[in-house]
Amino acid sequence: MGGSSIGEGTLSLGDFVASAKALIEKWKVIDVEDSLPDWQWKPCGKTGVPSEEEGYLALEGVYRNPGGRHAQSSSESVHIYDYHVVYSFSYKVPVLYFQGHQAGGQLLTLDEIKEDLPSHSLKLLGESKWTFITREEHPHFSRPWFTLHPCGTSDCMKLLLEGVENKDQHVQYLPAWLSVVGQARCIMSPGNLETTEDQLPRSN
């Protein structure tokens, strides 16, 4: 569909939707931590997009203790995070939007969010050219959310998908992308979600 090439590290809107729905189904059958909710497809009513392709991928209500440890339920010391994966029409890649809040509902600052991250995630954010955090308007909510800027995503994805058969690339795109983004934001991405018969290459 229309004007993008997975071989170049980008994907079309249709391939994004297909990869999102494949990830949702695989997440249901693999061994995921009990503390993590399921990814869900959230339909949206934006105009100008075919109805079957309106929406975004969401992982909401993730409880986290300081240091990035996942928790089972809310308490005063636990922070709650929502993660949305939205298709970027400008970059033709997925973009992660996220926000965290305290149990009482107060939104977390960027410094508070960084305090929740384990050391390896902070190291990745400091070293990687394509996982730096900015604050931008959420395209579906018109409110500012934190986001991982997508400017280097296509270059990274081109490397990650090398060796994956063309017929599997659109399905494997989001699991491969999440394997890197999930490290930066400490979203647990189970190893068997990231593999097919051939292990996907990973960035250094």
Domains of the chain: 21-66+77-182 (3.30.1460)
For range 87-98, the mean pLDDT: 94
Angle between helical axes of 153-160 and 166-184 (0-180°, round to 10): 120
pLDDT classification of 64: cutoffs 50, 70, 90: confident
Least confident segment among 55-69, 101-115, 136-150: 55-69
Q: Which residues contact 21 (CB under 8 A, 6 or more apart)?
A: 41
- Report the chain's C-alpha Rg in angstroms: 16
Confidence of residue 74 (pLDDT cuts 50, 70, 90): low
59 versus 49: the higher-pLDDT residue is: 59
Contact between 98 and 114 under an 8 Å Cβ cutoff? The reply is no
Is the pLDDT confidence value at 197 over 60? no
Could you tell me if 164 and 196 are in contact, meaning their C-beta atoms sit under 8 angstroms apart?
yes
Q: Give the model's confidence band at 130: pLDDT under 50 very low, under 70 low, under 90 confident, else very high.
A: low
Please count the other Cβ atoms lying within 10 Å of the Cβ belonging to residue 60: 14
Average pLDDT over residues 17-21: 91
Taking residues 94-98, report their average pLDDT. 94
Q: What is the mean pLDDT of the chain?
A: 77
Which residues carry out catalysis? 151
Write the DSSP assignment of 167-188 as a string of letters.
HHHHHHHHHHHHHHHHHHTT--
- Determine the pLDDT at residue 162: 83
Residue 110 has pLDDT above 50, yes or no: yes
Q: E strands along the chain, which residues? A: 40-42, 56-64, 79-88, 93-102, 133-137, 144-148
pLDDT over 90 at 47, yes or no: no
Between 79 and 7, the higher pLDDT residue: 79
DSSP state letter for 46: -
pLDDT digits (tens, 9 = 90+) for 157-178: 888 888 777 777 888 899 888 8
| pLDDT above 70 for 191 | no
Scan for tokens 């980008």, then name that residue. 10
